[in-house]
Amino acid sequence: MTHSRSEDAELSASEPRHAGAPTDNPADTKGHRGSAARDDGGAGDVAASSSLLDKRDHEDQAPESFTELVGQTHKAAVLDPTAEPVLTVSNLKMYFPVKSGGLVRRKVGDVQAVDGVSFEVPEGGSLGLVGESGCGKSTTGRLITRLYEPTGGSMMFQGKDLATLSQKEMLPLRREVQMIFQDPYSSLNPRHTVGTIVGTPLLVHNMVPKKQVLSRVQELLEVVGLNPEHYNRYPNEFSGGQRQRIGIARALALQPKVMVADEPVSALDVSIQAQVINLLQDIQHEFNVAFLFIAHDLAVVRHFCPEVAVMYLGKIVEIGDRESIYGRAHHPYTQALLSAVPDIKQAATGGRRERIRLEGDVPSPINPPSGCRFRTRCPIAQEICAKHEPPLLQIGKRHKVACHFPGELGKNPSEPLTARLLGVDNAGSPDPGASPSKDLVTKPGYDDTWFDLDKRSFGRA
């Protein structure tokens, strides 16, 4: 049995194993599931390490990218255009109050962390949520699981609005919407055994009779590729990838319809990322769970999510299916994000190799720029951008963009396509002769008709 180099690094970085800790003995892996549920290195099922890990033992081989690794066993998730939405989010807002210092703490402003986002998560499917740090991704996820009370908007799930239910009314629905956290080290209580961690939700929600909790926990451990006999071990006896599997088993225990996965693999080594993503894909197929999948990494999102929403400073600036976002991005911010991803930038930027570097920092969400929030960093901003917020306009069958000058890289129109719709002239000043369009209300999902960028009018394709 050999360890790959990263396994060794991971083992040496973790706390020392104590007697009885998982070993490399293949007997430890008995009863485990197949390839996708295989691990990760570290304690336990190292003996079962897949060919992915074995490959890295060869020092002269260049490290493989996530896309190469994940593609060895699983294909990218496919969109089911007939799937009904399991979760419909409309105009969701979260403003965190900012208070003054001193004895009498008065409210002096708001952090507009999420400001009117709308989207659908299809049943059994995945919507990716991407964007720079601080753009409001986690806040959106936390709102859906009702860890925060929304400032406004609605979140329809099974005919009920999660945004307005009381905590008591939420209780039966809590188990239906579960969260997987980014950090497998801090999201598990180090003083509880894996059995307690995975079993507690089963008890709290009366999912199984008390006598059957242990066997259900063991089933769940097996589902996520861990040794069912390890239920009495503590989180520090597992590697990072294995701890994330424990977090997944905990979320899965309640048989949720929706999982909010907030950066579920970003703390993991790339080969382990691929294994955990494969596991999530298997779980999705087996249990028909829908995912709101939050991540920085556009390559990971491209694989797992057939649809993607791009956020900037609390707003969705572009949303669409994989082909629209990765192949025909129309928002300058999406194009800049994609240009930074080595193995997808060429396709996304029409063969351009150089990275698009955005000037300046992300502005404060306490006092965001007027009009388009991206205008202070946008390379093609014009006068109208400071005066009017661009509507999130549907420009294709499954493609929406919020920009006055939408276009593929280098093909932006010279005049704002939105001016007439907003009832203003090209500089954004009121145009007495124009009447604003009624079709600009941002709603979740897609219509059968949309704004044709060539004809510059609404119509059916």
Name the site residues for ligand SF4 (rule: CB under 6 A): 331-332, 372, 374-375, 378, 380-381, 385, 390, 403-405
Q: Which residue has the tokens 């991206």?
A: 374
Kindly state the smallest distance separating residue 296's Cβ from ligand ATP, in Å: 6
Kindly state the smallest distance separating residue 183's Cβ from Mg ion, in Å: 11
Kindly state the smallest distance separating residue 356's Cβ from ligand SF4, in Å: 12
Binding mask 344-373 for ligand ATP (x = CB under 6 A): ---------------------x--------
For residue 171, the tally of other CB atoms under 10 A from its CB is 12
Cβ proximity to ligand ATP, 69 vs 111, nearer residue: 111
Distances (CA, A) of 302 to 13, 45, 54, 298, 333: 31, 29, 25, 6, 17
**Residue 135 near ligand ATP by CB under 6 A:** yes
Cβ proximity to ligand ATP, 111 vs 226, nearer residue: 111
Query: What residue 326 binds from Mg ion, ligand ATP, ligand SF4, none (CB within 5 to 8 A, per partner kind)?
Result: none
Query: What residue 372 binds from ligand ATP, ligand SF4, Mg ion, none (CB within 5 to 8 A, per partner kind)?
Result: ligand SF4
Kindly state the smallest distance separating residue 333's Cβ from ligand ATP, in Å: 14
- Compute, in degrees rounded to 10, the torsion defined by CA atoms 244, 249, 251, 253: -170
DSSP conformation letters of 41-79: SSSSGGGG--HHHHHTT-TTSPPPPHHHHHHTT-PPP--
Which residue in 11, 96, 236, 327 binds ligand ATP (CB under 6 A)?
Answer: 96
Kindly state the smallest distance separating residue 314's Cβ from ligand ATP, in Å: 7
Cβ proximity to Mg ion, 259 vs 378, nearer residue: 259
Cβ proximity to ligand ATP, 108 vs 171, nearer residue: 108
Query: What residue 385 binds from Mg ion, ligand SF4, ligand ATP, none (CB within 5 to 8 A, per partner kind)?
Result: ligand SF4
Query: What residue 374 binds from Mg ion, ligand SF4, ligand ATP, none (CB within 5 to 8 A, per partner kind)?
Result: ligand SF4
Kindly state the smallest distance separating residue 354's Cβ from ligand SF4, in Å: 19
Question: Helices (DSSP H) in 288-364: which residue ranges?
Answer: 298-304, 322, 332-339, 345-348
Cβ proximity to ligand ATP, 320 vs 365, nearer residue: 365
8 A C-beta contact, residue 290 and residue 257 = yes
Q: Which of 386, 377, 390, 449 is nearest to 419 (CA)?
A: 390
Kindly state the smallest distance separating residue 442's Cβ from ligand SF4, in Å: 15
Query: What residue 404 binds from ligand SF4, Mg ion, ligand ATP, none (CB within 5 to 8 A, per partner kind)?
Result: ligand SF4
Cβ proximity to ligand SF4, 127 vs 385, nearer residue: 385
8 A C-beta contact, residue 373 and residue 312 = yes
Q: For ligand ATP, which stretch binds (CB under 6 A), given 29-37, 79-87, 120-128, 132-140?
A: 132-140
Q: How many residues does the chain have?
A: 461
Contacts with Mg ion by CB under 5 A lie at 138
Kindly state the smallest distance separating residue 182's Cβ from Mg ion, in Å: 7
8 A C-beta contact, residue 235 and residue 225 = no
SS3 199: helix
Kindly state the smallest distance separating residue 90's Cβ from ligand SF4, in Å: 23
Q: For ligand ATP, which stretch binds (CB under 6 A), given 127-135, 170-178, 416-424, 447-455?
A: 127-135
Q: Which of 377, 261, 386, 367 is nearest to 314 (CA)?
A: 367
Cβ proximity to Mg ion, 73 vs 138, nearer residue: 138
Which residue in 71, 116, 124, 134 binds ligand ATP (CB under 6 A)?
Answer: 134
Number of residues that bind ligand ATP (CB under 6 A): 12
Q: Which of 346, 347, 312 is nearest to 332 (CA)?
A: 312
Question: Helices (DSSP H) in 224-371: which residue ranges?
Answer: 240-252, 270-287, 298-304, 322, 332-339, 345-348
Cβ proximity to ligand ATP, 129 vs 253, nearer residue: 129
Pairwise CA distance, residues 89 & 238, whole Å? 37
Q: Are strands 290-294 and 258-262 parallel, antiparallel or unpaired?
A: parallel
8 A C-beta contact, residue 381 and residue 298 = no
Using the 8-state DSSP alphabet, how is residue 210 labeled? G
8 A C-beta contact, residue 33 and residue 223 = yes
Pairwise CA distance, residues 329 & 395, whole Å? 11
Query: What residue 403 binds from Mg ion, ligand SF4, ligand ATP, none (CB within 5 to 8 A, per partner kind)?
Result: ligand SF4
For residue 440, the tally of other CB atoms under 10 A from its CB is 14
Considering only residues 250 to 309 of the shown chain, the ones binding ligand ATP according to CB under 6 A are none
Using the 8-state DSSP alphabet, how is residue 324 labeled? I
Kindly state the smallest distance separating residue 404's Cβ from ligand SF4, in Å: 4
Question: Which residues sit at the interface with ligand ATP, rule CB under 6 A?
Answer: 96, 111, 113, 131, 133-139, 365
